[in-house]
């Protein structure tokens, strides 16, 4: 006899029924897996979008930190150039360089020395006046310009377009200020425009920081940066005002026909020098007021720790001296004669010490912002990994459960169908079926089939030996009647089991269809709110997948013989279609 394995793991179903059962099993498991993935995909996409946003904030915070450093360097160069232009550039140094009163001849001789090189390149060291009581001209530093150029190259690639264009104009701006004929205040404003574009990055970073990153410094770094910028501007403008040459007379005594007296002739450029000095001192006064306003805004927006850090850092004898100078020199739009005699070296030392301490606090805040954005990015990475792990776990559990449920329904039915076919077709040449599942109603039916199979084999053997043909015929007829009755009972039992399986598949399909409908509603709401085109395209793909899943569920209902009613029972307008 041919032996076959009839365990639940390898059911033998006549014809092509085994393929159909396996196909339905695979389709059901795949449908459940797609449903789970579709339900979890929106959350994964949202977390991925948060991660992309936080990574962009990390890059922008790094850019802002570089911009803060470059703004400091540009401010130093601006203040230096402003004082240099206010002192009269190299032409004024040529007039004071030798101090021997030789006039045009001495000025031409200076044109071939260091002053001429400074006029050509916009560089050089200012010469000290030879006469007693004359103030040393402001000097230009090659190191400042080289540092600015190096920092511009470092930030150029990552900077926004408007900042990149402004930084590209710095060399020509510097050349125009040093070798042109513009005023010191015009050079100061040209540099300030570039610095303001760099300072604007701090405010943009504060505006782009999402609410989930709450607890940071907020707009305090931008307010402190504005205060630092105005403090530096006040320093540069005051030093430039002090660098303007003092007006003097020609030394000649002339007769004034109006008054009828002899008077000392005044310098024709005295009024222009006084006007330039007053413009610079007025601008310094305004910068000082703006600094105080920015510090007040910083105090209202910063937390207690940040305010305490600024107060603890910006202190010391130099800061007190700087505050005294500012209270004396920047309290009014004009400088008195006594204030004009202020030592520029001591003023620069005090104001620079105060500014550097303020810049240290600003740089520390910029570094803290970078670290804060990096922590936010790390949190988003962890959240995305957890969501993906959770979705993968749910998918594995759903596939495992659905596979187990489907196999527990299909295996016993396949075994019963196989046993009934063996009994009906050729019980003499087939072995009884074996069932290793649970001891339930399916196992009882299998035992009944095997008992009937054994009786039929015994009757066949008796008929073959010819013993008691008549009684065997009668008994065979009785057994056949019993077989018909048992077959009817089994048919009824199979019909009941088929109805149970049918009801189970219909119920599972309806539940899956309901979940898909809810998922489509959620996705449609996300599509209505989504603005990003890439994520909207992804949502459209999910919508399409969910629609296909719904159509598969409806197809399963149709295959199961269940009439699924749709929302629209009547005709649908062509526009809606």
Closest CA to 196 of 143, 251, 158, 233: 233
The DSSP secondary structure of 10-46, one letter per residue, reads: S---STTHHHHHHHHHHHHHHHHHHHHHHHHHHHHHH
What value does the mean pLDDT take over residues 421-428?
64
* Predicted confidence band of residue 515 (pLDDT cuts 50, 70, 90): confident
Q: Is the pLDDT of residue 462 over 80?
A: no
Please give the pLDDT value at position 53: 85
Determine, yes or no, domain membership for 137: no
> Using CA atoms, how far apart are residues 569 and 68, in angstroms rounded to an integer?
67
Q: Which of 87-101, 210-224, 235-249 has the lowest mean pLDDT?
A: 87-101
Q: Which of 155-169, 193-207, 452-466 has the lowest mean pLDDT?
A: 452-466
Structure tokens that stand for 414 in this block: 């396949």
Determine, yes or no, domain membership for 504: yes
Between 445 and 120, name the one with better pLDDT: 445
Please give the pLDDT value at position 234: 94
DSSP H helical ranges for 209-245: 220-243
Please give the pLDDT value at position 505: 73
Under a CB-based contact definition with an 8 Å cutoff, are residues 135 and 159 in contact? no
pLDDT digits (tens, 9 = 90+) for 93-145: 443 443 333 333 333 333 333 333 333 333 333 333 333 334 444 556 778 78
Top mean-pLDDT range of 126-140, 172-186, 456-470, 503-517: 172-186
DSSP H helical ranges for 302-316: 304-313
Please give the pLDDT value at position 555: 80
Domain that holds residue 457: 437-565
Q: Is the pLDDT of residue 567 over 80?
A: no
Q: Which of 284-293, 323-332, 431-440 has the lowest mean pLDDT?
A: 431-440
Between 567 and 351, name the one with better pLDDT: 351
Please give the pLDDT value at position 268: 59
Determine, yes or no, domain membership for 463: yes
Please list, in sequence order, all residues whose beta carbon lies within 8 angstroms of the beta carbon of residue 96, skipping any fewer than 6 positions away. 127, 129, 130, 134, 137
Structure tokens that stand for 515 in this block: 């979940």
Determine, yes or no, domain membership for 477: yes
DSSP 438: -
Task: Render the burial of 272-292: b for 16+ CB within 10 Å, e for the rest.
Answer: ebeebbebbbbbbbbbbebbe
Q: Is the pLDDT of residue 77 over 80?
A: yes
Q: Is the pLDDT of residue 560 over 80?
A: no
Residues paired with 261 in a beta bridge: 256
* Predicted confidence band of residue 434 (pLDDT cuts 50, 70, 90): low
Determine, yes or no, domain membership for 483: yes
Report the number of distinct structural domains present in the chain. Answer: 1
Under a CB-based contact definition with an 8 Å cutoff, are residues 282 and 334 in contact? yes
Q: Which of 75-79, 146-150, 151-155, 468-472 has the lowest mean pLDDT?
A: 468-472
* Predicted confidence band of residue 354 (pLDDT cuts 50, 70, 90): very high
Q: Is the pLDDT of residue 283 over 50?
A: yes
Residues paired with 266 in a beta bridge: 249
* Predicted confidence band of residue 564 (pLDDT cuts 50, 70, 90): low
What percent of the chain is modeled with pLDDT above 90?
21
Q: Is the pLDDT of residue 422 over 90?
A: no
Please give the pLDDT value at position 7: 44
Using CA atoms, how far residue 222 sits from 66, 214, 247, 264, 365, in Å, is 14, 17, 41, 54, 10
pLDDT digits (tens, 9 = 90+) for 9-31: 444 444 455 556 567 667 777 88
CB atoms within 10 A of CB 208: 13
Please give the pLDDT value at position 433: 63
Residues paired with 263 in a beta bridge: 254
Please give the pLDDT value at position 526: 86
What value does the mean pLDDT take over residues 66-87?
92
> Using CA atoms, how far apart are residues 128 and 138, in angstroms rounded to an integer?
9
What value does the mean pLDDT take over residues 444-455?
70
Q: Which of 277-291, 303-317, 374-388, 551-565 has the lowest mean pLDDT?
A: 551-565
Determine, yes or no, domain membership for 402: no
Q: Which of 40-54, 281-295, 348-362, 461-475 has the lowest mean pLDDT?
A: 461-475
Please give the pLDDT value at position 414: 67
Determine, yes or no, domain membership for 412: no
Q: Is the pLDDT of residue 537 over 90?
A: no
Q: If you search the block for the tokens 């206010």, which residue do you land on?
A: 86
What value does the mean pLDDT take over residues 420-441?
63
Between 566 and 117, name the one with better pLDDT: 566
DSSP 440: S
Determine, yes or no, domain membership for 210: no
Residues paired with 262 in a beta bridge: 255
What value does the mean pLDDT take over residues 248-259?
63
Please give the pLDDT value at position 45: 86
pLDDT digits (tens, 9 = 90+) for 132-156: 334 444 556 778 788 999 999 999 8
């Amino acid at each position: 006899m041919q032996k076959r394995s009839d365990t639940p793991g390898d059911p033998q179903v006549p014809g092509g029924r085994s393929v159909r059962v396996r196909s339905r099993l695979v389709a059901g498991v795949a449908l459940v897996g797609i449903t789970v993935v579709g339900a979890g995909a929106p959350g994964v996409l949202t977390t991925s979008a948060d991660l992309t946003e936080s990574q962009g904030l990390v890059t922008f915070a790094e850019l802002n930190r570089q911009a803060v450093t470059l703004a400091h360097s540009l401010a130093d160069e601006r203040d230096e150039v402003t004082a240099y232009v206010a002192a009269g550039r190299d032409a004024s140094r040529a007039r004071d360089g030798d101090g021997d009163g030789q006039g045009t001849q001495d000025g031409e001789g200076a044109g071939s020395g260091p002053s001429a090189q400074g006029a050509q390149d916009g560089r050089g060291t200012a010469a000290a006046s030879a006469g007693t009581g004359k103030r040393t001209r402001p000097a230009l530093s090659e190191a400042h310009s080289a540092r600015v150029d190096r920092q511009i190259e470092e930030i150029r690639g990552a900077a926004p377009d408007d900042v990149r264009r402004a930084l590209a104009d710095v060399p020509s701006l510097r050349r125009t200020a040093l070798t042109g004929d513009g005023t010191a205040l015009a050079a100061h404003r040209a540099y300030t425009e570039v610095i303001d574009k760099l300072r604007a990055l701090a405010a943009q970073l504060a505006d782009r920081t999402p609410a989930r990153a709450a607890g940071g410094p907020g707009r305090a770094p931008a307010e402190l940066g504005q205060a630092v910028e105005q403090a530096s501007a006040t320093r540069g403008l005051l030093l430039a005002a002090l660098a303007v040459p003092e007006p003097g007379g020609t030394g000649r005594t002339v007769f004034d026909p109006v008054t009828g007296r002899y008077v000392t002739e005044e310098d024709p450029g005295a009024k222009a020098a006084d006007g330039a000095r007053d413009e610079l001192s007025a601008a310094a006064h305004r910068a000082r007021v703006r600094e105080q306003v920015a510090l007040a805004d910083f105090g209202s927006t910063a937390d207690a720790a940040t305010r305490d850090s600024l107060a603890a850092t910006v202190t010391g004898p130099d800061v007190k001296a700087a505050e005294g100078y500012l209270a004396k020199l920047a309290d009014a739009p004009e400088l008195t004669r006594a204030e004009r005699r202020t030592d520029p070296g001591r003023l620069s030392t005090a104001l620079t010490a105060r500014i550097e301490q303020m810049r240290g606090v600003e740089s520390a805040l910029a570094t803290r912002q970078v670290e804060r954005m990096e922590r936010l990015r790390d949190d988003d990475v962890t959240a995305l990994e957890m969501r993906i792990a959770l979705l993968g776990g749910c998918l594995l559990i759903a596939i495992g459960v659905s596979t187990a449920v489907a196999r527990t329904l299909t295996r016993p039915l396949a075994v019963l169908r196989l046993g009934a076919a063996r009994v009906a077709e050729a019980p003499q040449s087939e072995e009884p079926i074996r069932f290793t599942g649970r001891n339930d109603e399916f196992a009882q039916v299998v035992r009944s089939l095997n008992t009937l199979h054994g009786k039929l084999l015994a009757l066949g053997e008796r008929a073959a030996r010819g013993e008691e043909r008549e009684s065997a015929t009668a008994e065979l007829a009785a057994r056949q009647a019993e077989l018909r009755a048992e077959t009817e009972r089994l048919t009824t039992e199979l019909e009941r089991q088929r109805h149970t399986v049918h009801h189970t598949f219909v119920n599972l399909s309806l539940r899956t269809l309901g979940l898909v409908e809810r998922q489509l509603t959620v996705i449609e709401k996300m599509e209505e709110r989504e603005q990003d085109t890439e994520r909207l395209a992804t949502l459209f793909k999910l919508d399409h997948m969910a629609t296909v899943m719904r159509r598969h569920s409806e197809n399963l209902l149709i295959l199961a013989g269940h009439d699924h009613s749709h929302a629209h029972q009547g005709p649908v307008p062509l526009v809606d279609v």
